Amino acid sequence: MKIFAHLSWLYATIMIFFAMTIMIIMFPFVPTPYAQKITSWFIRLALFMPVTIVGKEDPEVEMFLLNHQSDIDIGL
């Protein structure tokens, strides 16, 4: 079982590193919030992480509080 944990950690690390590289490349070409949104969308899909929204979204909010139990911090 430890082998699977190591492999899944390696896969997640590679995907996050790839997404951050893409985000840095996209900064000059894409308007401000979209580089972060595209890469967080990619990380979420690549790591098969479901997102559950509890309550209603407020369109005037400037920061989202996310509860997670891993070393990945995704800014949505």
pLDDT tens column, 39-71: 888 888 888 877 777 778 777 877 666 655 555
Q: How many domains does the chain have?
A: 1
Range of the domain at 30: 1-71
Cα–Cα distance measured from residue 43 to residue 49, given in angstroms and rounded to the nearest whole number: 8
Tell me 62's DSSP state. S
The predicted-structure confidence for 5-46, as pLDDT tens digits, reads as follows 889 889 888 988 888 888 888 888 888 788 888 888 888 888
Q: Is residue 76 part of a domain?
A: no
- Whether 76 shows a pLDDT value over 50: the answer reads no
Cα–Cα distance measured from residue 12 to residue 68, given in angstroms and rounded to the nearest whole number: 15
| Amino acid found at 42 | F
Cα–Cα distance measured from residue 55 to residue 64, given in angstroms and rounded to the nearest whole number: 12
Q: Which residue has the higher pLDDT, 4 or 74?
A: 4
pTM recorded for the entire structure: 0.58
